[in-house]
């Protein structure tokens, strides 16, 4: 099955064909670092991390860029409120964001900061001015939406409808829907020199400048949350195609569905925003990742504690199955029933691949995983051996699952078990040394203490065995 991707621009699934064979260039809008990033961000970035992983799994060379907005009205207002600088604010919250991404295993190739690309931003604005799309008034440089005939093609709304929802305060603009490319300096605000005067970039222009620097003037995938379709992505298209003169600027537009909290929209007014750092205090990163992929990336997802607990239990079943497989003795001979199971595993691999190729249908792929684990558990009841061929195919399937979904192969349960085993072996070694020295009193004390915590030691003529009691 070929890879199909739902394109927001065409509103249908399309066969994925990158602009350059074998290579994929992807840009995902990152956070404005004026506060801690929340689980809505985590959902979106996990979705694109899985997309990134699947593309790599299929053999594509992927370059993934995610920007950091570190200059913005929200940042200026927050810095003033706290009595600090925009730079300090950006440093604090960008570092917190990187810590969250590291914990979740989300790893874009490039994290460009807006303030680190002022020259590139100015160059794009100069091109827009030269091409007749930009004009200067008293408070900055603006994009003239009336000059871009395709304005509204992503959000599928007429320009007249769009500008009703995008009225910025300056009455000197040519059109109510015109948006700022460069804002002139106000007292106490960070600013940079430009051909038009001291100031700072508007929000939208940074993405056009940074994406073109790292991915070229045309690239394959642009992603973000549904809330960015208008005005952000609509404006990005207008200014990028206006500046570079190439259409389409982006071949495939991808957007994630909203994350709600117990059925309600996440918002400051409701006080239900959950920072990623707080969610990570309560749930393991792999549990959060598995929860996010339990719904299709384009679908809304409802964040509830009971759903997270169910996800945790589901992940434990997979880890327990992995542990069970690892304990079985491997033999070369394959039984007739094992041949049947081998075919089931091979079919599961194909079904998983087909699900992921169908617009990254992670819920369907997950169903394949859980169904196979269930049937394999039933098959393995009472067995102590497994054929090398069947185990190899199971490992192939599980490795695909762990890699694509970004789940560590050794979860907390297995790591803790290994740690306990090592500690027990150390205590047995110490106890044996004490017995050699005829310090039977301390040796017996260790044995009693271990029994108290549920570890029973059994001395034989040649060694000391242990089991949980």
Cα-Cα end-to-end distance for the chain: 51
| pLDDT score of 21 more than 80 | yes
| pLDDT score of 455 more than 90 | no
209 plus 322 within the same structural domain: no
381-386 average pLDDT score: 93
Please give the pLDDT value at position 165: 53
Q: Phi-psi region for residue 13, left (φ > 0), alpha (ψ -120 to 50) or beta?
A: beta
Please give the pLDDT value at position 454: 72
Please give the pLDDT value at position 329: 94
Q: What is the pLDDT of residues 321-377, one digit of tens each?
A: 999 999 999 999 999 999 999 999 999 999 999 999 999 999 999 999 999 999 999
336 plus 424 within the same structural domain: no
Percent of the chain with pLDDT strictly greater than 90: 82
6-26 average pLDDT score: 98
pLDDT band for position 452 (cuts 50, 70, 90): confident
426 plus 385 within the same structural domain: no
In this structure, the number of other CB atoms found within 10 A of the CB of residue 113 comes to 17
What's the burial of 48, exposed, middle or buried (CB within 10 Å: 0-12/13-18/19+)?
buried
| pLDDT score of 188 more than 60 | yes
pLDDT band for position 422 (cuts 50, 70, 90): confident
Q: What is the pLDDT of residues 224-268, one digit of tens each?
A: 999 999 999 999 999 999 999 999 999 999 999 999 999 999 888
The total number of structural domains that make up the chain: 3
Residue 260 near residue 301 (C-beta atoms within 8 A): yes
Cα–Cα dist 216/247, whole Å = 13
Cα–Cα dist 265/277, whole Å = 20
| pLDDT score of 73 more than 90 | yes
155-169 average pLDDT score: 69
252, β-bridge pairs: 221
Q: What is the CATH number of the domain that holds 250?
A: 3.40.50.620
- Per-chain mean pLDDT for the chain: 93
457, β-bridge pairs: 466
Please give the pLDDT value at position 458: 83
| pLDDT score of 405 more than 90 | yes
Retrieve residue 98's tokens.
Answer: 């990187």
Range from 161-165, 204-208, 349-353, 405-409 carrying the lowest mean pLDDT: 161-165
| pLDDT score of 414 more than 60 | no
Last residue of a domain, one of 279, 298, 322: 279
pLDDT band for position 78 (cuts 50, 70, 90): very high
| In a domain? residue 457 | yes
pLDDT band for position 463 (cuts 50, 70, 90): confident
- Residues composing the chain: 469
204 plus 181 within the same structural domain: yes
187 plus 268 within the same structural domain: yes
pLDDT band for position 415 (cuts 50, 70, 90): low
Residue 420 near residue 453 (C-beta atoms within 8 A): no
SS (H, E, C) 164-188: HCCCCCCCCCCCCCCEEEEEECCCC
Please give the pLDDT value at position 312: 95
Pairwise pLDDT comparison (458 vs 411), residue with the higher score: 458
Please give the pLDDT value at position 469: 59
Residue 202 near residue 183 (C-beta atoms within 8 A): yes
Cα–Cα dist 315/287, whole Å = 7
| In a domain? residue 425 | yes
Map residue 223 onto helix, strand or coil.
strand
Q: What is the pLDDT of residues 102-146, one digit of tens each?
A: 999 999 999 999 999 999 999 999 999 999 999 999 999 999 999
Residue 83 near residue 141 (C-beta atoms within 8 A): no
Please give the pLDDT value at position 167: 54
425 plus 394 within the same structural domain: no
Q: What is the CATH number of the domain that holds 384?
A: 1.10.730.10
pLDDT band for position 450 (cuts 50, 70, 90): confident
Kind and range of the H or E element at 12?
Answer: strand 12-15
333 plus 242 within the same structural domain: no
296-310 average pLDDT score: 97
37 plus 75 within the same structural domain: yes
Please give the pLDDT value at position 70: 97
| pLDDT score of 411 more than 60 | no
Nearest to 225 by CA among 265, 268, 281: 265
The pTM assigned to this predicted structure is 0.86
pLDDT band for position 310 (cuts 50, 70, 90): very high
| In a domain? residue 355 | yes
Kind and range of the H or E element at 413?
Answer: helix 412-436
Q: Which residue has the tokens 């239900």?
A: 272
| In a domain? residue 240 | yes
Please give the pLDDT value at position 209: 98
Percent of the chain with pLDDT strictly greater than 70: 96
The domain containing residue 134 runs over which residues? Answer: 16-279
211 plus 197 within the same structural domain: yes
345 plus 433 within the same structural domain: no
Nearest to 175 by CA among 190, 185, 164: 164
Cα–Cα dist 379/240, whole Å = 57
| pLDDT score of 417 more than 90 | no
Cα–Cα dist 39/328, whole Å = 39
229 plus 148 within the same structural domain: yes
Kind and range of the H or E element at 282?
Answer: helix 276-282
418 plus 403 within the same structural domain: no
């Amino acid at each position: 099955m070929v890879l199909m991707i739902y394109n927001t621009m065409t509103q249908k699934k399309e066969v994925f064909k990158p602009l350059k064979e074998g290579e994929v260039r992807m840009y995902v809008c990152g956070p404005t670092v004026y506060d801690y990033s929340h689980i809505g961000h985590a959902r979106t970035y996990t979705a694109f991390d899985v997309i990134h992983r699947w593309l790599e799994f299929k053999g594509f060379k992927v370059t993934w860029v995610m920007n950091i907005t570190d200059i913005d009205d929200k940042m200026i207002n927050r810095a003033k409120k706290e009595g600090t600088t925009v730079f300090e604010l950006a440093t604090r919250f960008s570092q917190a964001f990187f810590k969250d991404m590291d914990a979740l295993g989300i790893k874009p190739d490039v994290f460009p900061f807006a303030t680190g690309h002022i020259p590139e931003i100015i160059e794009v604005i100069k091109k827009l001015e030269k091409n007749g799309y930009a004009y200067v008034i008293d408070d900055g440089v603006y994009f003239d939406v009336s000059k871009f005939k395709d304005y509204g093609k992503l959000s599928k709304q007429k320009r007249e409808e769009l500008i009703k929802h995008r009225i910025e305060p300056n009455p000197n603009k040519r059109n109510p829907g015109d948006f700022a490319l460069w804002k002139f300096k106000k007292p106490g605000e960070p600013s940079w020199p430009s051909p038009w005067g001291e100031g700072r970039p508007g929000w939208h222009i940074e993405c056009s400048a940074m994406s073109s620097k790292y991915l070229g003037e045309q690239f394959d995938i642009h992603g973000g949350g549904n809330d960015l379709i208008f005005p952000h992505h609509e404006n990005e298209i207008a200014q990028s195609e206006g500046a570079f003169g190439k259409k389409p600027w982006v071949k495939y537009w991808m957007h994630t569905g909203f994350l709600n909290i117990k059925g309600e929209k996440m918002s400051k007014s409701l006080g239900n925003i959950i920072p990623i750092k707080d969610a990570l205090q309560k749930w393991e990163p792999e549990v959060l990742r598995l929860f996010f992929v339990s719904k299709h990336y384009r679908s809304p997802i409802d964040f509830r504690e009971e759903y997270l607990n169910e996800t945790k239990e589901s992940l434990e079943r997979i880890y327990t199955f992995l542990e069970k497989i690892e304990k079985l003795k491997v033999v070369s001979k394959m039984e007739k029933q094992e041949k049947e199971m081998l075919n089931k595993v091979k079919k599961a691999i194909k079904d998983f691949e087909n699900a992921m190729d169908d617009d990254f249908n992670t819920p369907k792929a997950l169903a394949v995983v859980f169904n196979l684990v269930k049937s394999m558990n039933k098959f393995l009841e009472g067995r102590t051996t497994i054929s090398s061929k069947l185990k190899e195919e199971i490992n192939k399937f599980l490795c695909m699952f762990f890699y694509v979904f970004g789940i560590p192969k050794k979860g907390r349960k297995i790591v803790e078990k290994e740690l306990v085993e090592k500690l027990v072996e150390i205590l047995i070694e110490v106890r044996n040394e004490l017995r050699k020295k005829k310090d039977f009193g301390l040796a017996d004390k260790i044995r009693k203490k271990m029994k108290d915590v549920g570890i029973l030691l059994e001395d034989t003529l040649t060694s000391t065995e242990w089991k949980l009691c």
